[in-house]
């Protein structure tokens, strides 16, 4: 059975997404949803779901409503995250709450979450998997909320431990990638055991993916990433590089480091932090952590020899080596 690659699946999904943009009365509720859906992005989550489904079925059309559901959930979470972070821009475009107002952004986000479960039930109706995939989604939704709360709690610490930071991104970011693979495989008729193996694969890829994002924020080429070098530093966000650096320093050095990190957000001068990262070989260490979780991901699906997972592995490898 032929396997569709990322580009083909992403193109198919984009067409489906545009053909199924939400409309209704009052349209003011749905306009923000169309707005965030058209912001673009890599569509990693719906593509992961479709790749999992494609392991068992050449025709991916029955899985498109579920892929749309996961994109709705992802965009719902971004919409609410931007409100909590008071972010003005996403992908260089005004965030929903800036363009449409805070209250409408909250309500439209809620509507996307509701629509997510409606679409999952629709997708699972034909083969009676609706209950299983909705259960997987509801479990993931709560875990993601836990991760978001951990992230907000960390704002009040000088730094969490590396272990706690990894646990936070496992819940906040990686869980959804794993859930996409799990739902796609359950929808295709896979056993719960196989679905859980694919979930673990996606979870480990998700952790490696986030660490890669943190590396690119500081050490990526801004012309390729489209982002300002050290954007997390300028926003005072404590990403993996910060956490490792902080926990590698002595108590006195930690105090100077946190003061400089805090000052950078107001002065715009990140040179002290960059030099500290270089002296501590933070980039090398972060690359090792990324590769560790990528290796764990690959090892976790070695038992699925009856599947043709080369396309999934190739896509994951591209995510790990990306420069933007």
pLDDT score at 1: 66
25 in Cβ contact with 160 (< 8 Å): no
Residue 265's pLDDT is what?
A: 86
Dig out the tokens for 81 from the structure: 């995250």
| pLDDT tens digits along 64-110 | 999 999 999 999 999 999 999 888 888 889 999 999 999 999 999 99
Measured between alpha carbons, how far is residue 199 from residues 13, 186, 193 in Å?
21, 11, 10
Nearest C-alpha neighbor of 277 from the set 240, 228, 222, 231:
240
CB 224 within 8 A of CB 323: yes
Q: What is the mean pLDDT of the chain?
A: 94
Spell out the residues 6+ positions from residue 50 whose beta carbon is closer than 8 angstroms to its own: 4, 9, 12, 13, 60, 63, 64, 67, 184
| The pLDDT value given to residue 254 | 96
Condensed to tens digits (0 to 9), the pLDDT of residues 282-295 reads 999 999 999 999 99
Question: pLDDT tens, 150-209?
Answer: 999 998 999 999 999 999 999 999 999 999 999 999 999 999 999 999 999 999 999 999
Q: How many whole angstroms separate alpha carbon 153 and alpha carbon 59?
A: 44
Q: What is the dihedral of CA 121, 123, 126, 131, to 10 degrees?
A: -40
Q: Homologous superfamily of 7-321 in CATH?
A: Farnesyl Diphosphate Synthase (1.10.600.10)
**CA nearest 155: which of 39, 245, 250, 235?**
235
């Amino acid at each position: 059975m032929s396997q569709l690659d990322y580009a083909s699946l992403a193109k198919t999904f984009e067409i489906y997404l545009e053909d199924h943009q939400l409309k209704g009365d009052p349209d003011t509720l749905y306009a923000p949803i169309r707005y965030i859906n058209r912001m673009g992005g890599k569509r990693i989550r719906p593509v992961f779901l479709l790749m999992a489904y494609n392991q068992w079925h050449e025709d991916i059309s029955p899985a498109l409503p579920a892929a749309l559901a996961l994109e709705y959930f992802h965009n719902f979470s971004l919409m609410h995250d931007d409100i909590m972070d008071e972010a003005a821009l996403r992908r260089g475009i005004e965030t929903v709450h800036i363009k449409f107002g805070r209250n409408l952004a909250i309500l439209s986000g809620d509507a996307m979450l509701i629509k997510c479960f409606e679409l999952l039930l629709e997708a699972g109706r034909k083969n009676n998997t609706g209950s299983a995939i909705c259960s997987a989604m509801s479990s993931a939704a709560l875990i993601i909320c836990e991760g978001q709360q951990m992230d907000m709690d960390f704002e009040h610490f000088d730094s969490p431990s590396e272990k706690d930071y990894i646990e936070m991104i496992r819940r906040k970011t990686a869980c959804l990638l794993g859930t996409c693979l799990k739902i796609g495989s359950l929808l295709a008729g896979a056993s719960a055991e196989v679905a859980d193996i694919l979930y673990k694969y996606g979870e480990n890829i998700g952790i490696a993916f986030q660490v890669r994002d943190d590396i690119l924020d500081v050490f990526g080429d801004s012309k390729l990433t489209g982002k300002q070098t050290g954007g997390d530093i300028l926003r005072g966000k404590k990403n993996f590089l910060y956490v490792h650096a902080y926990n590698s320093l002595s108590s006195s050095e930690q105090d100077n480091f946190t003061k400089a990190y805090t000052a950078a957000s107001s002065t715009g001068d990140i040179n002290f932090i960059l030099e500290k990262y270089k002296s501590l070989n933070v980039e090398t260490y972060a690359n090792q952590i990324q590769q560790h979780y990528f290796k764990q991901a690959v090892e976790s699906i070695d038992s699925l020899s009856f599947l043709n997972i080369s396309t999934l592995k190739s896509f994951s490898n591209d995510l790990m080596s990306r420069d933007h």
